[in-house]
Amino acid sequence: MLWGKLTDRAKGVFADLLDNPSGRPNGEDLAKRLGIPNGKYGIAGVLAWPGRHCTAAGRPLPIRNDEGAAGGSTYWIPEIPARLFAQARAASDSRTTED
């Protein structure tokens, strides 16, 4: 399961996008909101390993992006993957609180 392999910062990016499905933040804004250093480059770095894990599993990274201008790419998670990741996050959270 990808969720369990994510770093705390990557979980923060996924959580932010899951919790704000109508928003499509750019890399600079997302990094600032989550306290990730190096702005849009930091976001790209945070998503590098999740992308590798997805590739190894034969799946695409569920986060989509459109290249933008000054603020970098805009990011979002499409509806169906968002539902699946929300369920995985909830299951992970319930296991954590039971421990």
Report all structural domains of the chain as residue ranges with CATH numbers, in order of start. 13-98 (1.10.10)
The pLDDT, as a whole number, for residue 96 is 60
Q: How far is 18 from 82, CA to CA, in rounded Å?
A: 6
Do residues 42 and 31 make contact, with C-beta atoms less than 8 angstroms apart? yes
67: helix, coil or strand? coil
Mean pLDDT by 10 residues, the chain (99 residues): 87 93 90 96 95 93 84 87 86 68
What is the pTM assigned to this prediction? 0.84
Element (H, E) at 76: strand 74-76
The pLDDT, as a whole number, for residue 90 is 86
Q: What is the DSSP string of 3-63?
A: GGG--HHHHHHHHHHHH-TT---BHHHHHHHHT-TTHHHHHHHHTHHHHHHHHHTT---S-
The pLDDT, as a whole number, for residue 23 is 86
